[in-house]
Structure 1
Amino acid sequence: MTQPPPGTTAPASLPRRPLDGLRSVHPAWWVAAVAFLALVGAAGFRAAPGALMVPLHHEFGWSTSVMSLAISVNLVLYGLTAPFAAALMDRFGIRRVTASALGLVALGAGASVGMTQSWQLVLFWGVLIGLGTGSMALVFAATIANRWFVKRRGLVMGVLTAGSAAGQLVLLPPVAALAEGVGWRPASLLVAGAALLAVPAVWLVLRDHPEDRGVAPYGADAGYVPPPRTAGGAVRRTFDGLAFAARRRSFWALAAAFAICGATTNGLVGIHFIPSAHDHGMPATTAAGLLAAVGVFDIAGTIASGWLTDKFDPRKLLVAYYAFRGVGLLVLPWLLADSVHPSMVVFIVVYGLDWVATVPPTAALCREHFGEHGTIVFGWVFAAHQLGAAAAALGAGVIRDVFGSYTYAWWGGAAMCLVAAVLSIAVKRVPYAAGTRSSSTIAS
């Protein structure tokens, strides 16, 4: 055995350094952690509109319908950009697309502090932030889960989906407090800063494929062979994915159900809960705190849903989620008051656990039915989600202006949840394991 030089210590006798344990963690988990941080940063705007609508109305006199239009444009672009984002990530890389998306969110939120006309609200909130958030969205989460993980995909999808809820949880209370106590402009700058803070971590850690780090995906078998990479033709492949899916009834059922999901979360409660509570005499900061509490339970519910999706029939999970959501919306008009009471707390808990619990089972069904097209198809299904959210955001604003109340909007959402439950159970199961079958052999 070779002796170390005089005055030195053999390497074997060196104490274990703290970073050694960190290096033993599979790189997929670091990528997932930074993806979570990026989703938190992009979620800042998701928390902002409900808290900013009242102060904007007071300063500029803009109606609920006008402000809802800007949010609807945001939601439409958020959804329609998503399927192209999946292909753009294939073409230009996850890191570049994600960093650029966060930059657009920051630009839209920061530039809005100088607006004086309603068309500027549509430009900054609607177009810029819509394109930025849409370039990430849940397609970003699905891309990370599908590329970097073989095992724990459902769990990882649930955790990443919860990133949006965490952003709402972290940012909504200070946004609401700033908007009410200081002004809506500092609140907008807070949203811009949150998006920019995530950019350095994204640039340093995110990579497109596990092979770029010299590893196989987490949980891959010893004989794992990396799938062929696609290059070029991002727009063409996006529309090819849509054409492939549109010939199958399962796509239309999933898209319609997910449109209702968007309508009853982002479109109705996410945008109009605070103004509706304000109509009943509840302070905006109190209502914002309740909506942030939805985010607390959303994190737990979405992670649990990811775990359940790995073990149970995703269709049955979706039926349960939509049923609980529908009951909550049905009784909401009787729960709103000028103060918080136990029944409202129950609503917040149930709705929070259910908020985006639909995402992991919906993504799993897309993967089962559409194979290698699954991520892009999920992008189109998510586009339907945002179109539903946009329609509900605008429709609820119009209902409020016409009837002076949101009651018919809540009841309409409850009825739609029943339809979504029926559509979900109508989707046929496909016995499919990722990587074991070609998409061309998958049944409709």
Structure 2
Amino acid sequence: MIAQSRPFGQRYAFVVVGVIFLCLLIAAGLRSAPSVMMLPLENSFGWRRDVISLAAGVGILLYGLTGPFAAALMERIGLRRTLLASLVVMSASTTLSLLMTKPWHLFITWGVFSGIGSGAVASVLGATIVNRWFKTNRGLVMGLMSASSATGMLIFLPLIASLAQSGGWQPVVIAVAIATAALIPLVWLLVPERPASIGMVRYGAQADDVPPTSPASQGNFLAHTLSTLRRAAGTRVFWYLFATFFVCGFTTNGLVGTHLIAFCGDMGIGEVQAAGLLSMMGIFDLIGTTLSGWLTDRYDPRKLLGVYYAIRGLSLIYLPYSGFSATSLIIFAVLYGLDWIATVPPTLRLANEAFGDRSGPIVFGWIVAGHQVGAAAAAAFGGTMRELQGNYELAFLIAGMTAIAAACISLLINTSRPAFDPEPQAA
């Protein structure tokens, strides 16, 4: 049945994008909160920094591993139901963490449940929305939604860092829980299941447009998700994309997102000032990722990825030797910030080119899982290196070298032929 028509015609797609942008923004704030809470938790409970970063790593890992299953679940039970359930889990797990007294409580709330909940409110959600609601301008829209993570840092980090500095970790938890809960009515009221639900077609499409549907909408979504992985894993392009996105996660929210504030603290820079540095990076990433989406619609995405990873690698190698002066940190924030998430639009375009609109979001979910495996590894790796060496210098140098390697791998990707044949239709 066709639901009541919404205003704006095809442009209602941008209303949906606006709500999803907010969801991605809040999810990014939730995922960045452990970096702000690290020192307050260390001071409040006496927990070791490697224990806290390991819990953050569990959340990051599950955030990524949930993605491909969430993409299939959106086809099986509906995007609205999946998204609403995820927001409830995020808000509830964050609220329950107010009662934690032991490290395993941190693992369960901020690791397991917040990781699973936020995993459905991630890049795969953006990819699903882009494929469902847009026939044209996909790169630009994906760039805008990818930039929401930067905007999340821009809005949340100074606020929650100020809360943490004045009141400890509990006010941070309360702020994130309230912000997450506030999204539930917005999604319920403003996000239809798909354009056809309100009598429309995708933005930029003709009236007779029929978007591809996924066989995950029928049958076992778990089996479909795993079978898509099996088929994708038999292609070289999948492993190139997986490897580069592993490095992307290793060099962004895994290392910098989790440990930069603590690194700055080791260098005598306060939490609020360090959060301000991340916010500055967020401003430039908002610019860089949106521009990356525009460029992705027009230029070879492989070459774009090569440039992005090379700049990121050089930025990370530069940081330990920068002296941490105001000028040097601004230089780092600009160079690093411009391509923090700029890799997402070209990676999604390559996944869609190789695997098609129907399987692309699920394959992209598995590629994002590689991103979060890399991020989880970097979160734990950074904490371990800090405990062993007393500083983060070698951790950042190694991360920089992996980014240079990813720049080289990006140029090897070939999507000139479809990665696999069209899936057989159900009898």
TM class, shorter-chain normalised? over 0.9
Indicate yes or no: 2:320 matched with 1:333: yes
Find out whether 1:397 has 2:390 as its counterpart: no
Equivalent residue for 1:239, pick from 226, 250, 263: 226
Report matched runs for 1:65-144 at 5 Å: 65-144=50-129
Aligned-partner Cα distance in 1 for 2:47–2:211 = 54
Q: TM-score, normalised by structure 2?
A: 0.94
* % identical aligned pairs: 46
Instruction: Compute the displacement of 1:429 (Å).
Output: 3.3
Would the aligned equivalents of 1:38 and 1:199 in 2 still touch at CA under 8 Å? no
2:237 touches 2:415 (CA, 8 Å); kept in 1?
no
Does the 8 Å CA contact 1:277/1:336 hold for their aligned counterparts? no
1:54 aligns with 2:39: yes
Residue of structure 2 aligned with 1:282, choices 269, 281, 290: 269
Give the 3-state SS of the residue equivalent to 1:198 in structure 2. helix
Aligned to 1:168: 153
Q: 1:104 to 1:359 in 2, by over 3 A?
A: same
Whether the 8 Å CA contact 2:10–2:200 is kept in 1: the answer is no
Q: 2:179: which partner in 1? A: 194
Q: State the 1:35 CA deviation.
A: 0.8
| Shift in CA distance, 167/212, structure 1 to aligned 2, threshold 3 Å | same
* CA distance, structure 1, for counterparts of residue 14 and residue 368 of structure 2: 25
The answer to whether 1:313 aligns with 2:300 is: yes
Asked whether the equivalents of residues 40 and 166 of structure 1 are also in contact (C-alpha less than 8 Å), the reply is yes
CA distance in 1, matches of 2:320, 2:247: 19
Deviation digits for residues 391-441 of structure 1 (CA, Å, limit 9, x no counterpart): 011011000000000000000001101111111110013277xxxx96469
* C-alpha deviation, 1:331, in angstroms: 0.8
- AA aligned to 1:241 is T
1:166 Cα deviation from its structure 2 partner: 1.3
**What code does the residue aligned with 2:264 have?**
A
Whether 2:406 is the aligned partner of 1:420: answer: yes
Q: Deviations over 1:147-168 (max 9, x none)?
A: 1101011111111111122112
- The within-5 A match list for 1:290-439 is 290-337=277-324, 340-371=325-356, 372-430=358-416, 439=422
2:210 matched to 1:225? yes
Larger Rg: 1
Is 1:41–1:102's contact at 8 Å kept on the other side of the alignment? no
Asked if the contact 2:84–2:187 (Cα under 8 Å) also holds between the matched residues in 1, the reply is yes
Q: Single out whichever of 269-278 and 183-192 deviates more from structure 2.
A: 183-192
Query: Deviations 1:300-319 (Å, cap 9, x if unpaired)?
Result: 11111111100000000000
Taking the TM superposition and a 5 Å limit, the aligned residue runs for 1:28-47 are: 28-47=13-32
What letter is aligned with 1:39? L
Unaligned 5+ segments in structure 1 are 1-20
Give 1:380's aligned amino acid.
Answer: W
Does residue 1:63 correspond to 2:48, yes or no? yes
- The count of residues paired between Structure 1 and Structure 2 equals 416
Cα contact 1:83–1:380 (8 A) shared by 2? yes
Q: CA deviation at 1:210?
A: 1.0
CA contact (8 A) 1:83 1:377 kept: yes
Higher mean C-alpha displacement, 251-260 vs 179-188: 179-188
